[in-house]
Amino acid sequence: MTQLERTVCRLALDQGFALVGFAPIRRLDQREEFFRQWIDEGRPAEMAWLARDPERRFDPRRLDPRLRSVISLAFPYTAPAAPAMDWRAELRGRIAAYALGPDYHDTVLAKARVVAEALVTTRTDVVTRVYVDTGPVFEREWAVEARIGWFGRNTNLLNRYHGSYFFLAEIFTDLEFAPSAEPYRDHCGTCRSCLDLCPTHALADGYLLEPRLCISYLTIEHRGPIPCELRPRLGNWIFGCDICQEVCPWNGDAARIAPVNADLAPALADLMALDDDGFRRRYGTSAIRRTKRRGLLRNAAVALGNSGNPAAVPILARTIEAEPEAIVRGHAAWALGQLGGALARRTLERSRGHETDPGVKSEIESALSTLSA
C-alpha cells in the first residue's frame, strides 16, 4: 500500500467509514447486457432516471474523461431493532433502519468529501468527483471492483464482517490506484433466506430484484396507488423494508447487538394526523421526506388496513372524510373494506355520496363490495 493509500484509509476511518477499497476505472462491460435487458423489461418503473444515458453508468469516464481510479467507501449504519410489541394491537408502522436520523445523502457525502480533500495534497489540480447515491454510478459494482464485498442474493453488497448495513460512497479521481486486494469471493453459498422470506417475492434466482414488487420501491418511489393484490403483503412497512437484510446470516451480529429504537415503529394514528407542516417538522431533514406526506400517509393507511384491529376504523373514518389528498382517501377506503364492521360500512356509504375523485370512488365501491361478499 502506498503512502497516499494509507493516508486515505486513515482519514476514511477517522470519518467513520468501515471499509475502503481502490480500483482502476474501466468500462463495466459485464453489466451492459444485464442492465440493458433490465431497462427494456420495464423494471425501473417510475425510476425513469435509471434509464437515462446508461453509458455513463458503464464507464465513469463519460462523466469526465480525465478519471482513472475509484475509491469505494462503506459507511455503516446501525440496524436497531424495533420495539418488542404486537404492532397490530398498538397500531404501529415500521420504517427501514437506514432512514433514521439525518438524510444519509447529506451526512455521508460530507464525510466522503473530507476524504477526497486528502487527494489534493498530491497536487493542486487533482480531479475528484464524489457520489453517495446521487449520480449515474454503479455503486455496488465499483465496490466489488474495489474488493470490499460481494453481490448477495438479496442484491445488496455484502461483507463478511460488516454484513450489508452500510451506505456506499465513491470518489472518482484522475490519480492512479491499483486494486487493493484479491477479488472478494461470494459467500452466500446455498442460503436462500432472502428469496424465500420476501413477502412480495421481489427477489429471484440470478441475483435479480423486481422493483415493482419490492416493498421499498412501493413505499418510497412508487407515487400512485399501490396494487391491491400487494397491499396485504406490506404488513406494517410504511417506509422501506429491511426483511432481506434481517434474514441474512451475515447480518446476524449487527441485528443482535443493535439497540431498540422506538422511532422505527411510529404510531400510525399520529402519522395520519400529520398535516404538511407537521410532516416537514418531523421528517423534513430525514430520508423519509422523499416519499412526501401523501406517500407516507398512503402507506400508513395500508398498514392500518392490514392490522385487523377495529381500533383503526375511527382513524380511517376521519381520514376518508377530511383528508385533502385523494390517494390517501382511496387507500383509507380500501383499509376500511379490509377491517369491516358497522362504522366502516357507514363511513364508506356516506363517503360514496359526496366523493368526487373517480379513483377514490372506485376504491369505495370496491371496499363496499368486499364488505358485502
**Confidence bin at 311 (pLDDT 50/70/90):** very high
- Taken as a whole, the chain contains a residue count of 373
Map out the domains of the chain as residue ranges: 1-264, 267-373
Helix (H) or strand (E) holding 237: strand 237-239
Q: For 327-371, what is each residue's pLDDT tens digit? A: 999 999 999 999 999 999 999 999 999 999 999 999 999 999 999
Whether 304 and 316 have beta carbons less than 8 Å apart is answered as: yes
Quick one: pLDDT at residue 44?
86
Q: Which residues are catalytic?
A: 133
What mean pLDDT comes out for the span 55-74? 95
The pTM (predicted TM-score) of the whole model is 0.94
Amino acid at position 156, single letter: N
Question: Does position 127 have pLDDT exceeding 60, yes or no?
Answer: yes
Please name the residues in contact with 160: beta carbons below 8 A apart, sequence gap of 6 or more: 187, 250
More confident residue, 220 or 37: 220
Question: Does position 105 have pLDDT exceeding 60, yes or no?
Answer: yes
Q: Is 45 left (phi over 0), alpha (psi -120 to 50) or beta?
A: left
Least confident piece of the model among 59-73, 123-137, 192-206, 330-344 = 123-137
Quick one: pLDDT at residue 234?
98
Amino acid at position 29, single letter: D
| Superfamily of 267-373 according to CATH | Leucine-rich Repeat Variant (1.25.10.10)
Question: Does position 182 have pLDDT exceeding 90, yes or no?
Answer: no
Quick one: pLDDT at residue 59?
95
- Paired strand residues for 129: 172
Q: Order of strands across the sheet with 166-173?
A: 19-24, 69-76, 166-173, 128-131
Q: For 224-267, what is each residue's pLDDT tens digit? A: 999 999 999 999 999 999 999 999 999 986 555 556 788 899 99
Please name the residues in contact with 95: beta carbons below 8 A apart, sequence gap of 6 or more: 238, 239, 240, 263, 264, 265, 266, 288
**Which residue, among 118, 170, 176, 116, has the nearest Cα to 148 in the 3D structure?**
170
